[in-house]
Structure formats: structure tokens, C-alpha cells
Structure 1
Amino acid sequence: MYEFLLLIVTVAFLMYKFVEQGGYKKCGPSGKSVLITGCDSGIGLSMAITAEKLGFHVIATCLDLKGYGANYMQQNNPNIFLVQMDVTKPAEIENVLQTVNENLQNTQTALWALINNAGVLVYGHFDWQLDYQIESQVQVNFLGILRVTKAFLPLIRRAKGRIINITSANGNWCLPGLSVYCGTKHAVEGFSNTLRIEMRPWNIKVILINPGNLPGSTRILSAQAQHAEAMKNHFDEEQKQMYGEYFDLFQHHLQTNFAAPNLNRDQPLNDARLNKMLESSLLLENPRPYYADIDLGFRMFMLVTKFLPTYYGDRLILKMWGDHVEYKLI
């Protein structure tokens, strides 16, 4: 009897994993275009290169067409179609929509996937951050996704394609200093999970990708030193007394552990697990709704903090963060 039950559970689990992985049935890239935002460096640049290698026609948007990412693609991946776009500016998005429509006609492809990757991260407690730092994260990380998705959704609908939104571990788990960034990523996940249901009748897949802990391998913290200086310069006397030593230790920890060691290196990010998640998202007929590259230890820590009563979970996070920055928070 017990052996029979074990067999049923095992078969059910294997069937669940098979369905979760999309049944492994793949779509071909021929005649399909992929539009990716935020390809100036890091994850966006990496995904543009990977998508082209998979056989897709790639349309990559950059904030600066004279910057590192655009120059790299022009020299090494000349078939990638480059477009300048700031996701915070509706007029630019409309112009790019027209340009993309023309490019799709010229290449005789359909817009199979929109990858909302453009993102901004400013580390700092909420009461440290200045208005422009807060607004930049909200505008790029969340409102930018809404604007771009709204503009390109009709093209995705025609292709019965997919929308892929880049999230992070901070989409459902938080650390001190990430209140604004976490807020935007929580919003992205809530939006994506609801849009996935809304788009189901039209066979549009909505997918979240959590690329894991890659800040030290990208340029997302390249302006952190300037942001920190601006925050500190606006501290009043009370904040200076309250946060002074902690603020300095906080920023030192970031620069030591997360800042990219060489922002001018020639080779873009090439993470095998990120590449695999992107490949599955683009090619599987029934991709998973959520992909994540989080190591087992971190997963377990996240689960522990969630299952603990909130009071103790919060204390554990504060204790861990305080140990990291060498400052006693509790």
C-alpha cells in the first residue's frame, strides 16, 4: 500500500516538473524578433548577445548609443538592431515603436518577445535617499515597464508571444537599504503575476526572471559612490549623529563586495545560468512563469525569515546585515 502511494507521489511530482519546465517542447526562432531594454551593459547586453546566438533577430535599446554596450554590439554583433530609448520618456517610446514596426517589416519578422530589463539601483535607507534618487528607481524600474509593455503589447499579441520582466531576489525578500528598490521589484512581480492571468486568453506568456546576485558583475552600482556623497551632503545634524559611522561602513561594504572591479573591461557578462533561463523563456512552448538563480543556502535563509514570526525574522535580518557591515544594529 505504502509503495503504491509512494509511486503515485513520485509520478505526480515528475509530471509537475515536466509541466513546470514547459514539457520541453520548443519553438523555433525563425521569423521572430526580440526587443530588449537597457542593453547599455550588464544583463541587458548579455541577453541581447545570447538571444542573437539563439537565432532571433534582436532589437536592443540603449540609453546611450555611444556608450559601452552599443559600441560592443556594433563591433561584435553588427546584426543586432540598436535603438536609443529612455523608458521614462513616453515620446521616445512612441518613436521607438514606429521604428520597431518599420524594422519588423524590413526583416519580415514578428515581435515574439519583449524583455523589460532596464533598471536602476540606489542603495540607501529610505530616509537617506533624495527625491530624485527615489523617483528615478520608480520611473525606470516600474513605470518604465508599464509604459513599454503598454506600447508594444499589440505587437506581442499579434505574434502570440511573450513578455519577460527582469526581477530580483528583492522582488519578495528585502534587506536594509533597499526599501525603494524592493518596492519597485515587488510592484513588478505583482504586475507580472496579474498580467499573466489577463493575457492567458490571448496565449501571451508573461514570465519573470530573477538573474540572482549579479550586481558585482554588472554596472548597476557604478554611480553608487556619487549617490552616497549626495545623500551624506544632505544629512542634517540629527542624521549625521544618528547614522554617521553606520553610513560610512554601509557604503564601504557595498564598494568592497558589490561594485564591479573593472567597469571598462572589454568582455560583457556571460553567466551560464542566466543564459539558460533566457533560452528556456524564449524557446519553450510553455515556459515557466518564474525563473530564478538563487543558491540553496540563500533560499533556505529566505524561507527561515519568512516562516519565523515577523518580529524574529526582522531581527535575524538586521543581525545578519549588521554583521556584514561590522556595525551593531540590534
Structure 2
Amino acid sequence: MTEEDIQKIMTINYTGPVNICKHFLPLLRRSRGRLVNVASNAGLAPIPLMGAYCASKSALVTISEVWRYELKMWGIKVATIIPSGYKTGIMSYDMIATGNRWWNKASPIVKKDYGQECFYIKFKQKNRDFFLSAEFSDICYKIEDALLSSKPKSRYYSGFLAEFIPFIYIYLPVWLSDYLLSVLANWFEFNPKMQNY
């Protein structure tokens, strides 16, 4: 992944929402309004090969929690939606062109250690739809409740594994959570050349 890719992910998932929220804070202070941010369960637990995405969503979860404390004095309620396993456009891009771009920008040592095959995302699971829901009504109800309820929750979980993956990471012994997360997140074929030395 290039620096530009990392910056883009951070801008879309963290900096953009933060800037929008900051822009509207004067109105929210006067109206005692709501802030509702949509994060991801990837912001609550590490998912292998998705480091930049996890970091961006973790940053959004954290700033939302900080604002929840800071903005209470103004009567502003802050809620975070934690979805998991929805069929969105996050993976609908030209993976071959992206792999070529990553390979062309990689340093010689990275090329040597990983090999070109690692730059092309390949899914082990042929039917990814098994893990992804095209039904968005649950998350829409959660967003509606966060916006309209007189007593909104601070977090709303929605979707397959939304609470389970963070639970594994937070509450189980590290050796067990490492094992379970590696099994659950074993979606990609990733075999660096250096492993073969």
C-alpha cells in the first residue's frame, strides 16, 4: 500500500467525518443536537492485512468517544454505529491495477521480501457473499434510533461478527485471541517470498 492510499483511507474514514462534525458543532451546541458516526468493528479489533482501514476506523471510534464526554455539557449526544459484514463498495475496485500500482511504487527490498504475487489481493473464500449481508434494514434502524431516541445508546452494533470480533480481541487471552482472529480473518491468500528462505 502506498502513502497516498493510506492518506486517502484516513481522509475518507477519519479526517472527513471529523471536519464535517467540527463544522456543524456551533449549530449542534445551540440545538442540543446529535452526532452519529458510522465506524466499523475493524476499529475495535485488529484485522490482518487491513491495518490502515483498522487505524482509520479506530481513530473515528476514539474521537467519537472523546466527543461523547466533552459535548455532554452542551446537551449533545454522540453515538457510534459499529457495523460488520455488509455488502458495500469497499472492495469494488480494480485489484489488478491497484496491485500493479503498489508493485511499481514498492522499494527494491520490499519487492524482494514479498514478491509480486503479494501485491494482488486474492480471496480464499470464493463466495464472499456468505459473510456479507445485502440487507441494510438493521443498520438503518440503528441509525434511526441513534438520531431519534430520547436516550440513544453510545454504541450500536449491527451485522455479522460486529460484537464477536471485538469481544475476542478484548476479553480473551492474547494467545487465544491471536489464534481466533487469524482464523476469522484468513480471507486473503498472502504468502511473502521471504517466508521461504
Match 2:93 to one of 223, 232, 240: 223
Give the deviation of 1:143 after TM superposition. 1.6
- Tell me whether 1:285 sits opposite 2:150 in the alignment: yes
Once the two structures are superposed, the pairs formed by residues 221-300 of structure 1 within 5 Å of their partners are 221-223=91-93, 225=95, 226-244=97-115, 247=118, 251-253=121-123, 271-295=136-160, 299-300=163-164
- Tell me whether 1:195 sits opposite 2:58 in the alignment: no
Identify if the C-alpha distance between structure 1 residues 147 and 255 changes in structure 2 by more than 3 Å, giving closer, same or farther.
Answer: farther
Percent identity of equivalent pairs? 26
SS of 2:61's equivalent in the other structure is: helix
Distance 1:171 1:319 in 2: 18
Give the deviation of 1:286 after TM superposition. 1.3
Give the deviation of 1:222 after TM superposition. 2.6
Give the deviation of 1:185 after TM superposition. 1.1
Match 2:30 to one of 158, 173, 192: 158
Query: What is the aligned partner in structure 2 of residue 308 from structure 1?
Result: 172
Identify if the C-alpha distance between structure 1 residues 165 and 133 changes in structure 2 by more than 3 Å, giving closer, same or farther.
Answer: same
Distance 2:88 2:165 in 1: 24
1:103-161 C-alpha deviation (Å, 9 max, x unpaired): xxxxxxxxxxxxxxxxxxxxxxxxxx111111111222212122111111111222211
Structure 1 unpaired stretches of 5+: 1-128, 260-268
Give the deviation of 1:287 after TM superposition. 0.9
- Tell me whether 1:208 sits opposite 2:67 in the alignment: no
Identify if the C-alpha distance between structure 1 residues 148 and 304 changes in structure 2 by more than 3 Å, giving closer, same or farther.
Answer: closer
* TM-score under structure 2 length normalisation: 0.79
Query: What is the aligned partner in structure 1 of residue 21 from structure 2?
Result: 149
Match 2:182 to one of 318, 322, 329: 318
1:167-226 C-alpha deviation (Å, 9 max, x unpaired): 001111121111111111111111111111111122111110123212xx2222233524
- What residue identity is the alignment partner of 2:143? L
Identify if the C-alpha distance between structure 1 residues 174 and 254 changes in structure 2 by more than 3 Å, giving closer, same or farther.
Answer: farther
Corresponding residue pairs, total: 188
SS of 1:137's equivalent in the other structure is: helix
- What residue identity is the alignment partner of 1:242? D
Give the deviation of 1:298 after TM superposition. 6.3
Distance 1:319 1:241 in 2: 27
Contact 1:137 1:181 in 2 (8 A): yes
Structure 2 unpaired stretches of 5+: none
Identify if the C-alpha distance between structure 1 residues 328 and 163 changes in structure 2 by more than 3 Å, giving closer, same or farther.
Answer: same
- What residue identity is the alignment partner of 1:198? E
* TM-score under structure 1 length normalisation: 0.50
Contact 2:35 2:76 in 1 (8 A): yes
Aligned CA RMSD, in angstroms, stands at: 3.0
Contact 1:221 1:258 in 2 (8 A): no
Distance 1:254 1:223 in 2: 18
Identify if the C-alpha distance between structure 1 residues 146 and 232 changes in structure 2 by more than 3 Å, giving closer, same or farther.
Answer: same
- What residue identity is the alignment partner of 1:184? S
Which runs of 4 or more aligned residues in structure 1 lie more than 4 Å from their structure 2 counterparts after TM superposition?
254-259, 326-330
Identify if the C-alpha distance between structure 1 residues 197 and 141 changes in structure 2 by more than 3 Å, giving closer, same or farther.
Answer: same
